[in-house]
């Protein structure tokens, strides 16, 4: 049987809260239950959320670089390497 998926929208702050909550849940000392097998799904979700957070941060960096390039333009002599003096 295949599992369905859902598109869920979270802000970066909400993702950080989810990661923190999962970390606290996973790190809770619980008497040995199935040798810690119960933690695996939570660890996987935490890992996935950390990857999503990194992708968001990288996307924000790219936007900042693009905006900076637009503001400086190619008319800036410091950035115009193809132009002759």
Which residue ranges make up each domain of the chain?
A: 37-70
pTM for the complete prediction?
0.69
Burial (0-12, 13-18, 19+ Cβ within 10 Å), 15: middle
For residue 26, pLDDT over 60 is answered with yes
pLDDT at 55: 95
Q: At what angle do helices 12-27 and 40-72 cross, to 10 degrees?
A: 150
pLDDT at 46: 97
pLDDT at 11: 94
For residue 54, pLDDT over 80 is answered with yes
Q: Which is more confidently placed, 77 or 25?
A: 25
């Amino acid at each position: 049987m295949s599992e369905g998926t859902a598109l869920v929208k979270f802000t970066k702050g909400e993702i950080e809260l989810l990661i923190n909550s999962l970390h606290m849940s996973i790190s809770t000392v619980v008497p040995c239950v199935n040798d810690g097998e119960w933690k695996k799904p939570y660890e996987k979700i935490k890992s996935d959320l950390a990857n999503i957070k990194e992708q968001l941060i990288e996307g924000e960096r790219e936007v900042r670089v693009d905006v900076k390039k637009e503001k400086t333009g190619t008319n800036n002599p410091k950035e115009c390497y193809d132009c002759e003096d």
